[in-house]
Amino acid sequence: MTAYDLLFRRVLSRLDAETAHKGAFAAMRLAARVPGLAAYGRRRLTPSGGAAGGPAGGVEAFGLHFPGPLGLAAGFDKNAAGIDSLAGLGFAFVEVGTVTGRPQPGNPKPRLHRLVADRAVVNRMGFNNDGAAVVAARLARRRRRRGALPVVVGVNIGKSKVVPEAEAISDYEASTRLLAPYADYLVVNVSSPNTPGLRDLQAVELLRPLLTAVRAQADAVTSRRVPLLVKIAPDLSDDDVLAVAKLAVELELDGIIATNTTIGRDGLRSTPIAVERAGAGGLSGAPLAERSLEVLRLLRGSVGEQLTLVSVGGISTAEDAHARLKAGATLVQAYTAFIYGGPFWPARVQRDLARLLAED
């Protein structure tokens, strides 16, 4: 048992989950401002620093260079407030967001719960964020700042809750106009279960005009082609997964991120009382592993080598990540395992994954 395991069991697990998240994230950002500590962490923990490892030569995906295959999924840093502190812990790329066109407080609290027996989290945050204009300004300041780490930054965008479905495209376009100039890649999120009506946009007849509009808007406001991906839910039927894959190839998207959280609760180890107490929302963590891997294999079998696939959902160990890469993912992401594993988890997984890939 590590020191972080003891800290988590005796202190963090007894705090409200959202309070613990905010406190831990604040501590990470504070540590990143300590010059000697930050420099030491960069040398010892990041793939580019060498000690954390990474595949020889890194990973190339949608025209970008990644020092390693493991990144942080959207949801942890919703407002682009701590990109460098997270990169300094060993993540090869950081996806910020989900960011909406309008600032919004999210759903009422409490809205984040742990299911410790399952190493899982239930969230119904509701895209709480500062809004596209504020996040864009923050990304612009970071780009100008000397000393920012050379980490790949993805930006995940979603629909503002107050915007009706009929106006969803214009809302996504507004976010794209503001954020695309500062995104190394852009993700259209239509798969969170916590914004009413959002998952309806995964239907091909609604998704096609949305992705087409975002692509056109990104091209209009940037002098480069910003890689565009779509993030899908694990709760889609296999036929719907394949329909999205076909559409992504047709529209020449750069990739698909699979998968978001699930509304399912099957096969959990937690007691029914604990599950009921956690309430509604998206379930993330270890219980997603099987379905996420199934969706990845479906997608790779459908799209061949035409798209980059980013696998997320239930990745807890280097072996989990390795299995996703072997099944067809180019990159992998995690979030919940980072919460349970602590600040040294990403560097450890990155290093062990590099060893597994070298053995291959």
Total Cβ atoms within 10 A of residue 2: 12
Catalytic residue among 48, 192, 270, 284: 192
- Could you report how far apart the first and last alpha carbons of the chain are, in Å? 30
Q: Which residue ranges make up the annotated binding site for substrate?
A: 78, 123-127, 189, 194, 260-261
Q: Does the annotation mark 316 as catalytic?
A: no
Partner residues linked to 70 by β-bridges: 332
Residue with tokens 């560097």: 347
Which two structure tokens, joined as six digits, stand for 12?
């963090």
Question: Measuring CA to CA, which residue among 92, 114, 106 is closest to residue 13?
Answer: 114
Q: Which two tokens stand for residue 128?
A: 């709480």
Known binding residues are 74-78, 98, 123-127, 156, 189, 194, 231, 259-261, 285, 314, 335-336
Number of Cβ within 10 Å of residue 276's Cβ equals 10
- Nearest-Å Rg of the Cα atoms of the chain is 19
Distance CA 253, CA 229 (A): 6
Q: Return binding residues for FMN.
A: 74-78, 98, 156, 189, 231, 259, 285, 314, 335-336
Q: What does the alpha-carbon distance between residue 27 and residue 7 come to, in Å, rounded to a whole number?
A: 14
12 in Cβ contact with 5 (< 8 Å): no
Q: Known catalytic residues?
A: 192
